[in-house]
Chains A and B, each alone.
Chain A
Amino acid sequence: MVRILRFFAYFSFLIMALIYFSPKNNMYYLLEKELKSESLIVNNELVNDKGFTLNIKNATILTNSILIAEVMNIDFNFFIFYNSININTITLNEISKSLIPLNIQKVDIYYSIVNPLNILLSGEGEFGKFKAKFNMLNQILDIKLEPSKLMKSKYKNTLRKFKKSENGEYIYEKTI
């Protein structure tokens, strides 16, 4: 029993050391290259390896060379068994003004080995609050939105794309 515990202790130490020494900046550059192939560019950002996490500050996000959003802070936390990306203070470009309120307070993305088939998302901002789930097996994105008063009054066209459930939630489902 002691041997097994010792093995797990050493194994955990190795994993932690691997996370600490892993070239997070370069992994992020690889992610940037992958995103570029999807016509998405993260620009002007400050990349900071904080040992166990990676922090991105003041990023501008462009698609097809068009600025779509400015993001104040992104934290990447990868601990193999539990991983998350926390995005804070997103300001969308004026072009989205007719679709959605421009200020998003935060978006959190989680992936845990406990729930291996789903990526969970949540967020809140001027639009209200949302919770989403992306099923990697069926490639289905499922969004549940609690719209704010602003969203309900000024963005009725966007809300029409959602189905309204009995408990007042707005549901959107799409196969990606």
Chain B
Amino acid sequence: MKKLYSSNLFDIFYKLVILLIIAKAISLVILWYLPSDGIDFSIEKNYKPKYQRVSFKNMLNAKEIHKIENKHISKISSSIENMVLKGLYGTKSKAFVIIALKKSADKTSIIGIGETYAGYTLKSVTISGAIFKKNSKDYVLNLKKLSPVLKSKDNIFEKPIKIQRKEINKYISNPKEIFKNISIIEIKNANETKGFKITRIKHNSIFVSFGLKVGDLMVKVNNIELKSYKNALDIYKKINKIDELEIVIIRNNQEMELRYEIN
């Protein structure tokens, strides 16, 4: 009888199949011990929505307000004694005030123009206060004057420090100059970066005039928490497009804010 296949060839083929099965089995065992996913970089959730410094004076059109004030002042008969004005907001078209009764000063209400509170109807809002109407008479309620919350000897926290754009550009084009004048180290709490601490500032360098001091811990810039070198570097890369800069520092265990205007 004639053979349909060569037993030698079949033997080789059989052995190769066995080897393939062994190889696959080994690779499956290896696969069992290997991670199934890679590492992907995710953006740290340290970004807080950008806020803008609000000046109520800017919101109220000064000229309009003066007109309103002059028009009304003559007619105003008296001021309201039993209420306290805690805040006001106004634009050309809309305005409202935050108001409370003196006896329960913590219980505030927000009243828009035309709305009534304790019998008084809000007529208009001025820079310094609000004008109410009751029984065809006008009453004025002035904004309570507050003393500044933060005071400092060198006055740096009260108004923004002005920086020349060319000064900034000088450091952008030559980053080494920064570290000749200032030394900063990353401060970590366990595995998390708390901020960047200033360890050295060359006297008579521009950084002294920026109001920075040795020991200051920079924790936030323009409301972005400095949780990594990346955060700091991102700000550095955008600095030539930034007009206003707010740096939150911790100095002597107190949180302070330094504001800069780049012109």
Question: B162 at the A/B interface (Cβ < 8 Å)?
Answer: no
Question: A14 at the A/B interface (Cβ < 8 Å)?
Answer: yes
Question: B57 at the A/B interface (Cβ < 8 Å)?
Answer: no
Question: B45 at the A/B interface (Cβ < 8 Å)?
Answer: no
- Chain A residues with Cβ below 8 Å from B19 are 10, 13-14, 17
- Interface flags, B1-37, vs A, CB<8A=1, else 0: 0000000000000011001101110110011001111
Tell me, in angstroms, the Cα distance from A134 to B22 when the chains sit together.
36
Tell me, in angstroms, the Cα distance from A21 to B20 when the chains sit together.
9
Contact B23 A29 (CB under 8 A): no
Question: B44 at the A/B interface (Cβ < 8 Å)?
Answer: yes
Q: Count contacts between A and B, CB distance < 8 Å.
A: 78
Contact B23 A21 (CB under 8 A): yes
Return A172 CB to nearest CB of chain B, in Å.
Answer: 21
Tell me, in angstroms, the Cα distance from A86 to B233 when the chains sit together.
30
Tell me, in angstroms, the Cα distance from A10 to B15 when the chains sit together.
8
In the complex, residue of chain A having the shortest beta-carbon distance to the beta carbon of B22: A14
Contact A65 B23 (CB under 8 A): no
In the complex, residue of chain A having the shortest beta-carbon distance to the beta carbon of B234: A66
Partner pick for B34 among A20, A29, A62, CB 8 A cutoff: A29
Interface residue total, chain B, C-beta cutoff 8 A: 28
**Given A21-B24, A23-B27, A23-B31, are A65 and B44 also a contact pair (CB < 8 Å)?**
yes
Question: B38 at the A/B interface (Cβ < 8 Å)?
Answer: yes
In the complex, residue of chain B having the shortest beta-carbon distance to the beta carbon of A25: B38
Contact B38 A47 (CB under 8 A): yes
Contact A14 B229 (CB under 8 A): no
Question: B211 at the A/B interface (Cβ < 8 Å)?
Answer: no
Question: B39 at the A/B interface (Cβ < 8 Å)?
Answer: yes
Interface size range on A against B: 20 to 34
Question: B40 at the A/B interface (Cβ < 8 Å)?
Answer: yes
Question: B51 at the A/B interface (Cβ < 8 Å)?
Answer: no
Partner pick for A26 among B24, B36, B41, B233, CB 8 A cutoff: B36
In the complex, residue of chain A having the shortest beta-carbon distance to the beta carbon of B34: A26
Stretch at the interface among A35-43, A73-81, A116-124, A160-168: A35-43
Closest 10 CB pairs of A and B: A17-B23, A65-B230, A26-B34, A21-B27, A23-B31, A29-B38, A43-B41, A29-B35, A32-B39, A65-B228
Q: Can you spell out 17 A-B residue pairs with CB atoms less than 8 angstroms apart?
A: A13-B19, A14-B19, A14-B22, A18-B23, A18-B26, A26-B36, A27-B30, A29-B35, A30-B35, A35-B39, A36-B39, A42-B39, A47-B38, A64-B228, A66-B228, A94-B237, A98-B175
Q: What is the interface of chain A, defined by CB distance below 8 A to chain B?
A: 10, 13-14, 17-18, 20-23, 26-30, 32-33, 35-36, 41-45, 47, 62, 64-67, 94-95, 98
